[in-house]
Chains A and B, each alone.
Chain A
Amino acid sequence: MSILSAIITLSLIAGLFGLILGYASIKFHVEGDPVVDKIDAILPQTQCGQCSFPGCRPYAEAIASGEAPINQCPPGGEATMLALADLLGVEPIALSEEHADEPVKTVVTIDETTCIGCTLCIQACPVDAILGAAKQMHTIIESECTGCNLCIPPCPVDCIAIVPVKIEPDTWRWPLPEQAHTAPGA
């Protein structure tokens, strides 16, 4: 008899909590961003493919499904890697050796005297930042260029050059003061 009452009590309690949990899951349901969107939001959107995926979104999908590590984005540099580690709750991984420094932002320019107007770069540009038509010289819309350098390999006459983004007084950043004696273990 006592066993029976124990079983009944426990099942009642279980049922009750089940109901509470079920109610809570509906009531407090969070319409969370799918993780791919969140990852994609962190990636720099250069669409450069240096991660071995054909763009930022595919890389984000690969990270989300666990197929790719988080340290394959050279333009994002360490900051992006850390942000991803933070988002996904995983340990930060060191960047591959040559990308350890903060990436310098670049854009490309077309040497307009050399350009033959072949439109190959236009087809390569992932963000439509190149203006031109067949047999007309092309030009880069600098403000739209992401610095992915995808237009460089197809150019038959090597007229595209990489230039660092110019720092204006408005975009200049104050340096972090020297902390020779403050940081512990530095």
Chain B
Amino acid sequence: MSTASPIRRASLPEQLIIPLHQHIGENSEILVTKGERVLKGQPLTVAKAYVSAPIHAPSSGIVTDIAEYPAPHPSGLSTLCIVIKTDGENEWADLEPVSNYRDLSTAELRNIIRHAGIVGLGGAAFPTAVKLNPGPDHPIDTVIINAAECEPYISCDDMLMRERADEVISGIEIILHTLGAKKALIAIENNKPEAAEALQKSLGRTANENIHVVAIPTIYPTGGEKQLIKVLTNKEVPSDGLPIDIGIVVQNVGTTAAIHRAIHFGEPLISRIITVTGNGIKQPQNMDVLIGTSMAEVIQQCGGYTENAKQLIMGGPMMGFSMHTDHLPIIKGCNCLLVETTEQRQGMQTMPCIRCGECTRVCPANLLPQQLYWHASSRNFDQVQDYHLFDCIECGCCAHVCPSHIPLVQYYRFAKTEIWNQERDRKKSDHARVRHDFRQARLDREKRERDERLRKKKEMLEKKKQEESQASTAEIDPKKAAINAALERVKMKKASTTVTPKNTNNLTEEQQKKIDEVDKQRQASKTK
């Protein structure tokens, strides 16, 4: 539907809203200030944590705001964003292309990729530099390049391979070099002959014998990482493990092209190809869009909405998230904007589960979706984990075939987020317990120490007293008088200071006034 016309470069928008958090992992730290002029490709943040990625200015302009804006997220909540008003000059910052990447160590290459802010462009947005660092314990045998479009409708990877096959191949070579892997398999669905041909041609030019193009059947959800590995190698990634545990790293084709640009041109990840499609779009096509461009603007450039457009989905029809508005920025992980004309499940009656087992038949993770649903709906969170909720990849197959039209995936997402929440609560309460116990111990220790001091002092005093009384009885009178005098003084002082507590000494007039006011209020409220 969207492969008829070539990839079109979207025109430069007036304003770019770049969310800080576009990846899996920790937030990065802001480097720029409001009012500052930034150049295209200039880092806006720096990634301090290991699993993190920086963001860059997609075009030159002025930073007009650093504040919370609605995020492209199913919750519709806001997140911290940097807003740039573009000046139309597209002035690049100084880039540092690598002339021959083979001269660099793998750590240096990873560092470049990390600082270029590259994350997985298939949708998950996991920082690529982390994925390229399996560690010495995990020798990587095979790199799988995921060229299987993750969902129907989406064609951005297809178009990328057709038009920029050389970039893809070059990126794969860099990945192979970085990981020290033996071979790379480009898994491409058999309904994309043009893309496969383009890759083959490009491969012919480079004559790299370690890279192979493999055709795989077009069955959803083969584009899923674990499913793809199974199809290609017949190996299963352990449930609690990662592909690196079986010597495999999977990268999306879009990511490989981004790596190529980062190494050979020094360009950070500031744009991506997205598919704009669906029956609600007038001219479905693939667009090369700057990160931070508003969805509304992209859709406008695709001819706008048709009259009966009803729903905007970020991602594909099976796993995408529906958005409540189109005034949201395009982020790194956004591979598709799908505008549907029918409102799904609207008017369609949800019936009780009749246990037909269709969901079990189609589940690519071999789970029992209907049991998961049952336990999730009754908030039985231990049981859902018994039934391997966290192996669910939310592909949506089960909900699609469900004759009772139960929104199964939402139940799983509900259960997952609830369990994560409980986990957070538990960690927090454990933390609070530790702090409380520590405080308790500290107070005890302080009390003990104070008691000890007092006891010692007392002993000392008594000793002194004894010594003194032994020494002379004649000196008693003047001593007594002195003590009495001191006591008198203390009494006097006490009488004059009882009213004001120590902590309200030396107040300015203003503060005193405030306190008086507050006191008055409290008095008033007490009498009420």
Contact = CB atoms under 8 A, between A and B. Distances in A.
Contacts of B73: 169, 172
Contact of B417 (A135, A174, A179): A174
Contacts of A158: 518, 521-522
Interface residues of B, number: 47
B419 to A, nearest CB: 10
Interface string A40-57: 110111110000000111
B471 interface: no
Contacts of A144: 431-432, 435
B518 A174 contact: no
A97 B200 CA distance: 71
A157 B413 CA distance: 45
A45 B424 contact: no
B410 interface: yes
Given A128-B439, A182-B353, A176 B433 contact: no
Contacts of A55: 436
Interface in B408-434: 410-411, 413-414, 416-418, 421, 424-425, 428-433
Interface in B222-278: none
Interface in B18-49: 21
A46 B522 CA distance: 27
B515 A173 contact: no
B523 to A, nearest CB: 13
B522 to A, nearest CB: 8
Given A114-B514, A169-B71, A177-B411, A182 B352 contact: yes
B325 interface: no
A182 B378 CA distance: 11
A178 B410 CA distance: 10
A144 B379 CA distance: 28
Nearest to B419: A173
B331 to A, nearest CB: 11
Interface string B370-411: 000000010100000000000000000000000000110011
Contact of B414 (A134, A157, A174): A174
A173 B414 contact: yes
Given A157-B515, A177-B411, A171 B436 contact: no
Interface stretch (B119-127, B210-218, B487-495, B503-511): B503-511
Interface string A144-186: 1010000000001110000000011111111111111111000
B328 to A, nearest CB: 12
Contacts of B436: 45, 47, 55-57, 126-127
B507 A116 contact: yes
B414 A128 contact: no
Given A55-B436, A169-B73, A175-B414, 15 more contacts: A57-B436, A116-B503, A116-B511, A118-B504, A144-B435, A146-B428, A146-B429, A167-B77, A171-B421, A171-B424, A173-B418, A176-B414, A177-B350, A182-B352, A182-B377
Interface of A: 40-41, 43-47, 55-57, 114, 116-120, 126-129, 134-135, 144, 146, 156-158, 167-183
